A and B are shown apart, each in its own frame.
Chain A
Amino acid sequence: MGRRSLSAAPLAVFRIGFGLMMLLSVVRFWAKGWIEKLYLEPTYFFSYRYFEWVKPLGNWTYLLFAVVGLSALGILLGWKYRWSSTVFFLSFTYVELMDKSTYLNHYYFVSLLSFLLIWLPAADYFSLDARGRERPTVPAWTIHALQVFVGVVYCYAGLAKLNSDWLLQAQPLAIWLPAKYSLPGLGDLLQQRWVHFAFAWLGAAYDLFIPFLLLWRPTRWLAFGAVVVFHVLTRVLFPIGMFPYIMIVSALIFLDAGVHERIIGYLRTGLGRLGARPQVPGKVVRERNWGLPKTVVCAVLALHLLLPWRYLLYPGELFWTESGYRFSWRVMLMEKAGYLSYRIEDPITGRSRTVDPSRYLTPLQAKQLATQPDFILEFAHHLAREYQQRGQAPPAVYAESYVALNGRGSRPYVNPSVDLTTVTWATPRTAWLLPFEDTIYGL
C-alpha cells in the first residue's frame, strides 16, 4: 500500500455496480414476498450470540427494507456517500442479524464489503457528491484493498474445497448435479460420474487461482471471461439468487483503469448534461488525512484473513460440529439433511412427551434447525423457557436427531442422553454431539 495514486474510475464503477446490485436485491427480495415470509410470518427467530436483541420490527420491517434500498440508491448515485454507505451497512447488517436461519455467505460478504466501502473514497469521482469538485485520482491502496478483499473470498473458498469429500468423492456435487436432469443440453451430462469430478476439480482450481489470473495482466481478460462463465453456470445449476451477479460486478475491480474510464465515459454520454463535470474553477481540493481509513481498512482485512481459521481452535470435525463454519467462505461444501424431535421430561414425575419443532417453525427454519448444533441448543432452551412460563417445573430437554452428511448414511447426531438445558454455548459441541465416526481429510 504505497503512496501512489491511481485513477479514481475503478472505485466509482465499483460503487455504482455495488449500489445497483444492492438496490436490485432489495427490490427482488420485496417483490418475492420474502419480507413477509421470512420476517413477519415466523413466530420464533434464531439469534446470533451477542445480537439476541436484534429482531424483526413487525410491519416496520418494510420500512427497514426501504431504508436498505434507499441507502443503496444513495451509494449508487454517490449522494452523501459517507452517510449512505454507513446507513446501508447498519440497516443491511441489522436485517441479516434478525434471523440466523437466513444466513448466507454472500450476505456476510455484502455486510463486510459495505463496511469497507464506508472508508474508501468511492464517491470522489462521477457522483452527486463530487459534482464540481471531482478528484480524478485516489490512493492506490484503496483499490488494492478491494482487490485483496474479493481475492481472499475466492482463495479461501478454494482452500475450503481442498478436502477429501470434495476432491475424492465429488461430494456434495454428486448429489446435487444428477437432480438437474431436466436442464436442456446439460441434463444427460450431469448424470456422469466424471462430470461430477470435473466440476469439483475445476471449481476448486477456479476459486484458488482466479484472483491471481485477474491480477496478472496477460491473463486478465481470459480470467474475467472465466468469472462470467463460472458464475452464470452456478446461476443455472443452483438457486443462488443475486450472488453470481454481485461477484461478476465485484471482479470488475481487477480490470484496467482504462476500462472503467470508458464505462464512465459511456455513462456520461448517456446522461447528457446531467453527467457533465463542470469543475468549479479555483475550488481548492483539500489534501485528506488517510490515517484513520487506512487503519480501519487494514483491520477489516486482517479480520477477513484470520476469522475463517478460527475453526482450528475447536475440537471435532468441522462439517459435523459446524463450530467456526459460518463467516469462512465455505460455500457449497455440504449437503446436510437431518431429522430432529425433542423430548421434554418433567424431572419430578419423570413423564415425558415428544415435541415436533416444525409446529413452531417455518419449513426453512426447521430445515436449518435439524442439522446445526447452535440452532438445536437455542431452540431446546426456548422450549424449556416456554414450559416454565406456563408454570411448570423446569423440564429436562433431550433431542432425538439424525443427520446425513454428503451422501453418508444418516447417523444419530445429538447425544440423546444429554439434557440440553445443562448445556451452554460455551460447552464444546463434541461434549453433547455424538462422534462423527468418519474422517474428512483436508483443510
Chain B
Amino acid sequence: MRLTYPFLFLVAVLLLAGCGPDGADDDGPVLPSFDRRGMLTEWADEVVIPNLTDLESRLSTLVAAQDTFASAANPANLTALRDAFTQAYLSWQRLSPLVIGKAEEIRLREQLNTYPANVVKIEENALATTPANLDLPSNTAAQGFPAVEYLLYGLEEGALTTGPQHTAYQAYLTQLANRMLALTTTALADWNNGYRAVFIQNDGNSATASIDRTVNDYIFYYEKFLRAGKVGIPAGIFSDDPLPDRAEGLYAGNSLPLFLEALASSRDFFADRGLARYLDALDVRRDGELLSARIIRQFEVVRTTTAGLDSSFADQVTNDNQRMLALYDEMQKLVVLLKVDMLQALSINVDYVDADGD
C-alpha cells in the first residue's frame, strides 16, 4: 500500500471527527427507548407554564384584594387580603422547584422570595417620599413575598389600617404586589411566546441541553432552597446556633404549610412528570430495588418526619430543634439519592463543567 491511501483515509476520518461532538448536538435526535422530547413537553405544558399561569392569576387576585383594602381598610378586607397573599405564596411554592427560562434570567426567585426580609429597608422604602427603585440589588430583600408578609403580619396592630403611616405602608404594599405580578407576567409571556418550543427542541445530551439544565436546577433547588433555606439554616446546621429569624413565614408563622407545598411539588415533579419513568426505562436499580421507588419512598419519609412540627419553624427551632435536625437528616439522604445516584444513572453532570476528561 502506498502512503496516499491511508493518508487520505486519515484525513477523511479526521474531518468526520471534526463534525463529531460539536456538530452532532441538539438537532434531529433519535428517541430510542425513552421519549425525552415528550418529557420536556410535559415539563413545559404540565408543570412550568401552568404553575406560572396559576401564580400570575393568584397575584392578580392579590393586587385586586389590595385595591379593595386600600379603598376600605376594614378587618374583613384585611382578612381577604391576607388570604389572597397566602394563596399566592402557596402557588409560588409549587412553582419554586422549576424557576427556569425567563424566570431564571430575570432572577424571579431572588426578587420574589428572599428571606429573611430586610425590615429596616422596608420601613425606609415605605416611608420615603419617592417610590423605591426595586431594581436595585440592595432592595432584593425588601420586596417579594417576605416583604409583603412583613407588612401584613409583622407591623404593629393597626399600623396598616389606621396608624399614622398607614397610607405609606399601603402604597408600598401596592408597589410590591404590582411588581410581583409584573415580573411573573414577564416570565410567563416568554414561555408562551416562543421559549416553549426552544426548550422542547433542545433535547440533546449536552450540558446546555434542556434535560441536563432542568434537572440540575431542580436538584439545586432541592439542596439549596428546600433543604438548606427552609430547614437547615434555621436549624443552625451551618452556624453554631439555631437561627429562628431565618425561617420562612416568620411573621405569619406558616413555615410548615409553605414547606409542605414545596415538598409536594418537588416530589410530584420527580414521581409523576417523567424523571421516575426515565430512570425506570433505563432499569436503574439500587440494591435490587428500583431507584425511582427508593426516591419516592424517601420523599414520603421526609413528609412524615414533619408530623407534629410547629407551623412556625422559628418557634420549632427555639423550642425543640432536635426535630428539625431529624427532618434535615432525612432530607439529606434524598440529596444523595438525587445528586449522586440519579445524576450518575442519567449521566448528567453536576453543573456545567467545560473541560476535557480522559
Contact = CB atoms under 8 A, between A and B. Distances in A.
Nearest to A355: B238
B20 A106 contact: no
Contacts of B128: none
Nearest to A180: B205
Interface in A365-392: 366-367
Interface stretch (A81-89, A130-138, A330-338): A330-338
A408 B32 CA distance: 25
A102 B355 contact: yes
Contacts of A188: 30, 32
A125 interface: no
B346 interface: yes
Contacts of B348: 179
A273 to B, nearest CB: 24
Nearest to A256: B3
B212 to A, nearest CB: 10
B32 A104 contact: no
Contact of B358 (A106, A182, A191): A106
Interface residues on A, range: 35 or more
B282 A182 contact: no
A176 B344 CA distance: 9
Contacts of A49: none
Nearest to A408: B286
Given A105-B358, A259-B3, A353 B237 contact: yes
B356 A243 contact: yes
Interface string A203-247: 000000000000000000100110011001001111111111100
B344 A404 contact: yes
B32 A184 contact: no
B336 interface: yes
B350 A363 contact: yes
Interface in B1-46: 1, 3, 6, 9-10, 13-14, 16-17, 20-21, 24-26, 28-33, 36
Contact of A224 (B6, B203, B335, B341): B6
A183 interface: yes
A327 to B, nearest CB: 12
A161 B182 CA distance: 58
Given A182-B25, A235-B21, 20 more contacts: A37-B354, A104-B356, A176-B347, A179-B348, A182-B24, A184-B28, A229-B13, A235-B20, A242-B356, A263-B3, A331-B358, A332-B358, A337-B340, A337-B341, A403-B340, A404-B341, A404-B344, A410-B286, A410-B337, A410-B340
Interface of A: 32, 34, 37-38, 102, 104-106, 175-176, 178-184, 187-188, 191, 221, 224-225, 228-229, 232, 235-245, 248, 259, 262-263, 331-332, 335, 337-339, 346, 349, 351-356, 363-364, 366-367, 400, 402-404, 407-410
16 contacts: A34-B354, A175-B345, A181-B30, A182-B203, A183-B24, A184-B30, A236-B17, A239-B357, A337-B343, A337-B350, A339-B335, A339-B336, A363-B353, A364-B353, A410-B286, A410-B337
The 8 A-B pairs of least Cβ separation, nearest first, read: A179-B347, A241-B356, A409-B286, A236-B20, A182-B29, A363-B351, A187-B30, A182-B204
